[in-house]
Structure 1
Amino acid sequence: MSLNKAFLLILWCLGFSVTAQKPAISLFNGKDFTGWHIDVPKLDENPNGKNPFIVREGKLVSLADPQGHIITDKVYENFELEVQYRFAGKPGNCGVLVFCSTPRILYKMFPKSIECQLMHTNAGDFWCIGEDVVTPNMESRRGKKEDWGVTEGKERRVKNLTDNSEKPVGEWNTMKVRCDGNKITVWVNGDLVNEGFATASKGQIALQAEGSEVEFRKVELREL
């Protein structure tokens, strides 16, 4: 008997539950957008217009303009999401959205959700979009309490906990987002950058086209 099997047998005999970790699944197949749909307001006016999401050399690429989102068809809860991304040229803005539901509730573009920011030098910020989030030390990271809100004109940003977690522009970053019930925990390149409790616990997942070209070479999900 191998040492691993013997160890598991000992745990079983002692009454410990041995549960295998669920395998991760790739949400992006490297070829097309099977399992996703694109929501870009400008394409309503011209369905044949420029699509800001393309597949290039096996990567999912957000071209930033026109602005919008690529959204999973499926709803997810209790999961860990890992994305590997980099700014292909000039750094700027982008984001990963979790717990997405009602489309276009903010500025007639953003779906109801919690955004985990990818914006260069601000990766890991929370942005509240119709949903809210509560974090420790929130007044020091969100501003005056009377200004808080989840709609236009309100203080929707909760700043992340660290500086210098991102790699230099052009290098690949890894963001991990763990959604356990309504608790969201975010790491950037292994650093814990944000944690809080949201007003939602399930929804679709989205990537943004907003501000700057971003390449994604990994979009992987593991159910908890």
Structure 2
Amino acid sequence: MKRLYSLHGKTCVILIGLLASAELCASVLSPQPKAQWFPIFNGKNLEGWTPKFAGYELGVNYKNTFRVQDGYLTTNYDQYDEFNFEFGHLFYQTPYSHYKLRATYRFLEQQLPGYKNAWKNNGFMIHAQPPSSMSKEQRFPVSLEVQLLGANQDTDSRPTGNVCTPGSHINIGSEKITKHCVLSDSATLPGEQWVDVEITVRGSEQITHTVNGKEVLTYSNPTLDEKHQNLSSLYGSATMQSGFIAIQAENSTVQFKSIEIMPLSYVQSEKEDQ
């Protein structure tokens, strides 16, 4: 098992006999382009991505929920009669530590009744645990969620680019935040308009969300919560310095026009060098 914290600029440590995160340091093994955007969604198929649905084995794309339609990566529920908490996540194949991620997305009309908590709700999971380490029934990976919300009208007051923390905690300034979600400063974006979101991730030092060109939220020091300290061997410590990227499926119909990543250079801090 290779430790998550080892990405981009550190030496990976392989712990023989542990299997859950064998892929976590893959991005170190070959040079990554720097200061350059490149697509991680090819507009044609789901190559490079692997689904994981609650109640199903890794790799099962339950009811073809994740698909490419008209060139868009789409979460589609037209094969469902109802939603029974089959939460899904589509994992990109490579873990990252220091990078920028940007995407253009929009919400379409809601397809399924019930479970109002996830109405026009999607998100990018970052610093996520390896999908291979999730249990079959597990609903959400331990991660940080860049929560994307839609609305019917401006008066709904539903900002997007929020942060939620399944299995984790964060700091905002010097304050440790243990509540599940923190709202961003973004405007409510109703209807089916396209929205640009960008996430700048610098290991555990700072993470910034930007919506339509405006910085809306900054936080730091993501750590495993008290219930998930057993995953510290995957991250190298309780601090979450790197991990996988995943897209949610929570019963909302969402289209992603583009998804791109820019790996950033890793600069070792004086504290880490001691």
> CA 1:138–1:189 in structure 2 vs 1: closer, same or farther (change >3 Å)?
farther
1:92 alignment partner AA = K
In structure 1, runs of 5+ residues without a counterpart are: 1-19, 143-147, 149-154
Corresponding position: 1:76 with 2:96? yes
Corresponding position: 1:157 with 2:197? no
2:181 alignment partner AA = R
Of 188, 193, 203, 2:243 maps to 203
**Displacement of 1:163:** 4.4
TM-score normalised by structure 2 residue count: 0.62
> CA 1:53–1:207 in structure 2 vs 1: closer, same or farther (change >3 Å)?
same
> CA 1:136–1:49 in structure 2 vs 1: closer, same or farther (change >3 Å)?
closer
> CA 1:76–1:50 in structure 2 vs 1: closer, same or farther (change >3 Å)?
same
SS of the counterpart of 1:202?
coil
Corresponding position: 1:58 with 2:71? yes
Per the alignment, residue 211 of structure 2 pairs with 188
Question: In the aligned structure 1, how far is the partner of 2:245 from the partner of 2:198?
Answer: 13
**Cα deviation code 1:143-168 (max 9, x no counterpart):** xxxxx3xxxxxx311221x242x433
Which structure has the greater CA radius of gyration? Answer: 1
TM-score normalised by structure 1 residue count: 0.75
Question: In the aligned structure 2, how far is the partner of 1:48 from the partner of 1:221?
Answer: 24
Aligned residues: 188
SS of the counterpart of 1:50?
helix
User: Comparing 95-104 with 209-218, which one deviates more in the overlay?
Assistant: 95-104
CA contact 1:69–1:206 (8 Å) conserved in 2: yes
1:124 alignment partner AA = G
Question: In the aligned structure 1, how far is the partner of 2:186 from the partner of 2:208?
Answer: 17
**Displacement of 1:131:** 2.4
Corresponding position: 1:101 with 2:129? yes
**Cα deviation code 1:18-73 (max 9, x no counterpart):** xx9621110001111111100012444xx585121010011100126642100011
Question: In the aligned structure 1, how far is the partner of 2:128 from the partner of 2:62?
Answer: 25
**Displacement of 1:102:** 4.6
Please report the RMSD computed on the Cα atoms of aligned residues, expressed in angstroms.
2.5
Identity %: 28
> CA 1:194–1:137 in structure 2 vs 1: closer, same or farther (change >3 Å)?
farther
**Cα deviation code 1:125-179 (max 9, x no counterpart):** 111112221113858xx6xxxxx3xxxxxx311221x242x43311100110000
Of 50, 63, 78, 1:37 maps to 50
